[in-house]
Structure 1
Amino acid sequence: MGATIDSPAPLDIKTPGSWRRLAPMPTARQEVAVAVLAARVFVIGGLGAGAEPTATVEAYDPATDTWDTRAPLPAPTHHAATAVVDGRLFVIGGYTGGPVSWSPLGTVYEYDAARNSWATRAALRAPRGALAAAALRGRIHAVGGSADGVTGTHEVYDAAADRWAEAPPLPTPRDHLAAVAFQGRLWALGGRRSFTGAQYATVEIYDPATDSWATGPPLPVGRGGLAATALADRVFVFGGEAPLRIFNATEMYEVAGHRWIGKDPLPTPRHGIGAAVVDGRIYVPGGATRPGFARTDVNEVYTP
Structure 2
Amino acid sequence: MARLLLPRLPLLAALLAAAAAAHEVGAWAGASSAPAERSEVAVAALDGKAYVIGDYNGATELLIYDLAADSWSKGAPFPYPVHHTMAAETGGRIYVFGGYVNGWDASDKVWAYDPKSNAWQPRAPMPTPRAAGGAALINDKIHVVGGSGSGRGNVRTHEVYDPAGDTWSKAADLPTPRDHLAVQAVEGRIVASGGRIDGDSGKNLSANQVYDPERDAWSEAAPLPTARSGVASAVLGREVFVIGGESNRRTYDEVEAYDLPANLWRALARLPTARHGFGAVTYKGRIYTLTGSPRPGGDRSGTVEVLDPNGAAPAR
How high is the TM-score relative to the length of structure 2? 0.87
User: Could you say which structure has the larger radius of gyration?
Assistant: 2
Deviation track 1:61-110 (CA, whole Å, cap 9, x = no partner) reads: 1221110001111111110000012332101110113xxx4111111110
CA contact (8 A) 1:54 1:78 kept: no
Deviation track 1:177-201 (CA, whole Å, cap 9, x = no partner) reads: 1100011001111100032542111
- 2:214 is aligned with 1:209: yes
CA contact (8 A) 2:100 2:107 kept: yes
- 2:185 is aligned with 1:181: yes
Aligned partners of 1:166, 1:141: CA distance in 2, in Å? Answer: 9
**What's the secondary structure of 1:275's corresponding residue?**
strand
CA contact (8 A) 1:247 1:270 kept: yes
- Number of aligned residue pairs: give it: 287
- 2:92 is aligned with 1:87: yes
Deviation at 1:215, TM superposition (A): 0.7
> What corresponds to 2:196 in structure 1?
192
Deviation track 1:222-250 (CA, whole Å, cap 9, x = no partner) reads: 11101111111222110001111210011
Aligned partners of 2:127, 2:247: CA distance in 1, in Å? Answer: 29
Deviation at 1:15, TM superposition (A): 5.8
Unaligned runs of 5+ in 1: 1-10
Unaligned runs of 5+ in 2: 1-19, 310-316
Aligned partners of 2:68, 2:188: CA distance in 1, in Å? Answer: 30
Which structure has more relative contact order (CA 8 Å, sep 6+)? It is 1
**What's the secondary structure of 2:81's corresponding residue?**
coil
Equivalent of 1:76 in 59, 75, 81: 81
Aligned partners of 1:14, 1:121: CA distance in 2, in Å? Answer: 48
> What corresponds to 2:45 in structure 1?
36
Aligned partners of 1:262, 1:253: CA distance in 2, in Å? Answer: 9
Amino acid in structure 1 at the alignment position of 2:194: G
Amino acid in structure 1 at the alignment position of 2:170: E
Deviation at 1:136, TM superposition (A): 0.9
Aligned partners of 1:65, 1:298: CA distance in 2, in Å? Answer: 13
**What's the secondary structure of 1:170's corresponding residue?**
coil
Amino acid in structure 2 at the alignment position of 1:62: L
What CA RMSD, in Å, does the superposition of the two structures yield over aligned residues?
1.7
- 2:68 is aligned with 1:63: yes
* 1:208-287 matched pairs, under 5 angstroms: 208-255=213-260, 258-287=263-292
1:188–1:254: structure 2 CA closer, same or farther, 3 Å change rule?
closer
How high is the TM-score relative to the length of structure 1? 0.91
CA contact (8 A) 1:248 1:267 kept: yes
1:257–1:207: structure 2 CA closer, same or farther, 3 Å change rule?
closer
> What corresponds to 1:23 in structure 2?
32
Aligned partners of 2:268, 2:256: CA distance in 1, in Å? Answer: 6
Aligned partners of 2:183, 2:61: CA distance in 1, in Å? Answer: 23
CA contact (8 A) 2:85 2:97 kept: yes
CA contact (8 A) 1:225 1:272 kept: yes
CA contact (8 A) 2:50 2:65 kept: yes
4+ runs of 1 displaced by more than 3 Å?
A: 254-258
Equivalent of 1:128 in 115, 122, 130: 130
